[in-house]
Amino acid sequence: MVTNRQHNLFILSFKEGRLLKKLFVNLFKIIVALAIFFILLEFVSKLLTKDNDAFKRRDTLNSLPKNSVDIMFIGNSHSYTTFNPVEISNITGKTAYNSAMPSQLLDLVWFNFEIELKKQSPKVVVLETFAFQGPSQRDVFNDSNIDSMPFGITKLSAIFSIYKSSKDRFELMSGIYRQHGNWSDSELVNENFNNIVYGKKPSYIESKGFYDIDSKMTSDTVEKLKNLKPSEYVFKARVSDYNKYYFNKIYRECKKRGINLICVMAPMNKNYVEKTDYESVHRGFKALFDSVGVDFIDYNMLYDEVGIKDEDFANESNSSHHVNKYGSKKISEHFSNYLASVIKD
């Protein structure tokens, strides 16, 4: 009797078997239908999406071979206009890549870092701290940044953690919601179609994510910056509870993976720095990074050491915030020498 009862647990009646089979067949059909839908949706979304720098950077990142990066830079335009991975690779002998994305703040930096770590195992990660702002707002770059993320848990977490309104969440989950109006732009659709079918060379593959700014500041801008009143500029990057939360995530992930995390602040125009209470901003960053034993290289405190003289700002910057290729060369060289001293094989 006992044996029979045990058997009944595993052997289904004819009717139950048929029901179970029907259930599996229906489940299978639903999965197939959803798969077809999402494949076609992805195709249509790609056809209609207007390219911009966020997509170009993501395409290049996606094209990198697995585990091909030793030194990874993360942050935003402050990072990719300042730290030149080609220069740094030449000096350190390690492969470097700048995976920063335009305009992104620390919350998005974290989610993109999470995505990159699925493919890369860097030994050193350099976080540029001008991204210590947030939460991120909706704008074309942040929207494109999220649109270009592969669909998955990380993308959904980014949308739901950063954006609180259901309208924003809905719109960001479906890129086609914002891009669908492009269907009548036949030039765009043709170009995208050719890119999908024939493929296209990733834009930043040679520069390794570095953005080479060739232009210098105009004399008007130089003059304007000299006469800037302190009330005209608020330095937005600073340590806050919101930023600490995402910094800790980055820090913990690096620690877990044995990655050497280094924080840097790219140099800005001296006139800016002098007219804000930069000392207190610097102290805030330093205290945070010291508390967890992370090195902090603040180039706004190292003008003399790097060799940036007062008269150099006009020629070595493109704007109040971004250095140009001449400024970048100085910083990249200095930073490479620093890296060479800390990287151990």
Partner 1 sequence: MLFNSYTYLLFLPVVFFIYYISPKRLRWAFLLLSSYYFYMSWNVKYATIMFFSTVVTYILPLFSAKSKSQRVRKLMLVSNIIINLFILFMFKYFNFTSQLISDIAGLFMFSVIPLRFNHLLPIGISFYTFQALSYSIDVYMGKAEPVKHFGKYALFVSFFPTLLAGPIQRITRLFTQLEEAKRPDAENIKYGLSLILWGLFKKIVIADRLSVLVNTVYNKPTDYNGMEILIATIFFTFQIYCDFSGYSDMAIGSAQVLGFDLLENFNHPYLAKSVTEFWKRWHISLTSWFRDYLYIPLGGNRRHHLINILIVFGVSGLWHGASLTFIIWGLLNGIYQISEKLMAPHSKKAFEMLKINTETITYRVFKTFITTVLVGFSWIFFRANNLNDLGVVLDKLFRFDYFNAVSFGRVYALGLNEGNVIFAVISIAFLLAAELLEERRSVYHKLQSEPFLTKTFAYIILVLVIMVFGIYGDKQAAQFIYFKF
Residue 233: CB minimum distance to partner 1, A: 33
Among positions 47-66, residues that touch partner 1 (CB under 8 A) are 48
Which of 41, 117, 228, 306 is in the footprint of partner 1 by CB under 8 A? 41
Q: Please, which residue, 62 or 137, has the CB nearer to partner 1?
A: 137
Among positions 165-224, residues that touch partner 1 (CB under 8 A) are 166-167, 170-171, 174, 176-178, 180-181, 183-184, 186
Q: Please, which residue, 26 or 63, has the CB nearer to partner 1?
A: 26
Helix 140-148 crosses helix 153-162 at what angle (to 10 degrees)?
150
Which of 23, 33, 340, 342 is in the footprint of partner 1 by CB under 8 A? 33
Contacts of 114 (CB under 8 A, 6+ apart): 154, 253
Cα–Cα distance for residue pair 22/1, rounded to 1 Å = 31
Q: Please, which residue, 169 or 321, has the CB nearer to partner 1?
A: 169
Contact 54, 209 (CB under 8 A): no
Neighbours of 11 (CB within 10 A): 9
What are the residues facing 265 on neighbouring strands?
A: 298
One-letter amino acid of 224: K
Looking at 32-40, 230-238, 280-288, 317-325, which segment touches partner 1 (CB under 8 A)?
Answer: 32-40
Q: Please, which residue, 3 or 184, has the CB nearer to partner 1?
A: 184
Q: How many residues bind partner 1 (CB under 8 A)?
A: 22
Cα–Cα distance for residue pair 59/201, rounded to 1 Å = 9
Indicate whether 292 belongs to the interface with partner 1 (CB under 8 A).
Answer: no
Indicate whether 44 belongs to the interface with partner 1 (CB under 8 A).
Answer: yes
Residue 145: CB minimum distance to partner 1, A: 19
Q: Please, which residue, 107 or 147, has the CB nearer to partner 1?
A: 147
What are the residues facing 296 on neighbouring strands?
A: 263
Q: Please, which residue, 32 or 205, has the CB nearer to partner 1?
A: 32
Count the alpha carbons within 13 Å of 250 in the hemisphere toward its beta carbon: 32
Cα–Cα distance for residue pair 136/125, rounded to 1 Å = 22
Q: Please, which residue, 18 or 118, has the CB nearer to partner 1?
A: 18
Q: Which residues of 220-240 are buried (b: 16+ CB within 10 A; e: fewer)?
A: ebbeebeebeeeeeebebbbe
Site string for partner 1, 90-119 (x = CB under 8 A): ------------------------------
| Cis peptide bond prior to 135, omega within 30° of 0 | yes
Q: Please, which residue, 36 or 205, has the CB nearer to partner 1?
A: 36
Residue 188: CB minimum distance to partner 1, A: 12
Contacts of 292 (CB under 8 A, 6+ apart): 251
Sign of CA dihedral 337, 64, 77, 312: positive
Structure tokens given for 26: 């229906």
Indicate whether 37 belongs to the interface with partner 1 (CB under 8 A).
Answer: yes
Cα–Cα distance for residue pair 93/71, rounded to 1 Å = 11
Residue 102: CB minimum distance to partner 1, A: 23
Which of 12, 32, 196, 287 is in the footprint of partner 1 by CB under 8 A? 32
Site residues (vs partner 1, CB under 8 A): 29, 32-33, 36-37, 40-41, 44, 48, 166-167, 170-171, 174, 176-178, 180-181, 183-184, 186
